[in-house]
Amino acid sequence: MTDSPTGSPTGASADPAALGAAQIEAALSELPDWRYRIGALVTAYAFDTSAAAIAFIAAIGAIAEDQNHHPDLEWRYNTVFLGLSSHDAGSQVTGKDTRFAAAASAAAGRCGGRAEPHRHTTVELCLDTPDPSEITGFWTSALGYRLEDNGDLVDPEGRNPTIWFQVTDTPSENRFHLDRHIPLSSLDVERERIRPAGGEGDGAHHPSFRVYTDPEGNRVCVCTEIGHLPEN
């Protein structure tokens, strides 16, 4: 999500405050199409035809111009993936995002869209290290990424996985692992899908995340929004 450097949408604050966990949960109770994901609201809408998806994209463009707030959007044939976050509030969810989400849901209904938020997942790369400061510069330069205030490395174009550093004095032999973020509402379905190849995994931190390990010791964490919501 990027915001225009000038102006602000009607009724929106020019310097919005990030919403706390209780505020986000209350907003999502009124936004059934949407889920929370690492500082953003996300969803996916499927349409019967590609043309209908394009009509929805045009509607999203009009909302963005009207509200002076612009989502991350990806189009895949008949499906549109959306993400909403406010960079001017530290890449957190604000009232601007909830207003946009409500408008987008209404537009999807007019265009015949079906909300399928479980399809919007996020993959991050995690690197075990005792001291991120020793390696941050290398990875920033090697990938052309930007260092965020929270210590994460992000693709300036918003297209490739974020890298975050897990501080530990006992890094695993395979220091890289994947974090796959899904909605909590999809966790049971994903556990069933993964079980034939990955077993039950390590559920010590369930339902925040479960750790699955392949036969060679490579790990992937399947994460939910539990533990990732901001403080109230």
What is the β-pairing status of strands 122-129 and 114-115? unpaired
Confirm or reject CATH 3.30.1360.20 for domain 2-119, answering yes or no.
yes
- The residues spanned by each domain of the chain are 2-119, 122-223
Six token digits for residue 176: 């890289």
Q: Fold match between 2-119 and 122-223?
A: no
Contact 100, 3 (CB under 8 A): no
Q: What is the pLDDT of residues 203-212, one digit of tens each?
A: 999 999 999 9
CA proximity to 2, closest of 76, 108, 79, 73: 73
Is the model's pLDDT at 90 over the cut of 60?
A: yes
pTM here is 0.83
Confirm or reject CATH 3.10.180.10 for domain 122-223, answering yes or no.
yes
Q: What is the pLDDT of residues 148-188, one digit of tens each?
A: 888 999 999 988 999 999 999 988 888 999 999 999 999 99
CB atoms closer than 10 angstroms to residue 147: 14
Angstrom distance (rounded) from CA 175 to CA 11: 47
